[in-house]
């Protein structure tokens, strides 16, 4: 039987940040790290708001047309 993998907290935060990048998907990041996507989805609420994650976040300006009646 296969032994369960253990990942460090910085690695988990890095993987979550990769998933949050524009154009990235959880599935593609999971494949690139040979991790099941369900495992990464469990990490997302835990590491999305972490201090390590906050330092990597960026803001993308959006242009929106005004709504006219």
Task: Please report the pLDDT score of residue 64 as a whole number.
Answer: 80
Task: Please report the pLDDT score of residue 63 as a whole number.
Answer: 80
41 inside domain: yes
| Spatial separation of the C-alpha atoms in residues 47 and 58, rounded to whole Å | 16
69 inside domain: no
Structural domain total, the chain: 1
Task: Please report the pLDDT score of residue 45 as a whole number.
Answer: 87
Query: pLDDT digits over 46-56, tens only?
Result: 877 655 555 55
48 inside domain: yes
65 inside domain: no
Task: Please report the pLDDT score of residue 42 as a whole number.
Answer: 93
Question: What six digits make up the tokens of 8?
Answer: 């460090």
Query: pLDDT digits over 4-48, tens only?
Result: 888 998 899 899 999 988 899 999 999 999 999 999 999 988 877
- H-only helix segments in 1-69: 9-20, 26-33, 37-47, 51-54
């Amino acid at each position: 039987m296969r032994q369960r993998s253990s990942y460090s907290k910085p690695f988990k935060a890095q993987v979550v940040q990769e998933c949050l990048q524009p154009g990235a998907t959880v599935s593609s990041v999971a494949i690139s790290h040979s991790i099941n996507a369900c495992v990464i989805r469990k990490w997302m609420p835990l590491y999305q708001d972490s201090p390590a994650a906050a330092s990597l976040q960026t803001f993308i300006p959006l242009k929106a047309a005004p709504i006219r009646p």
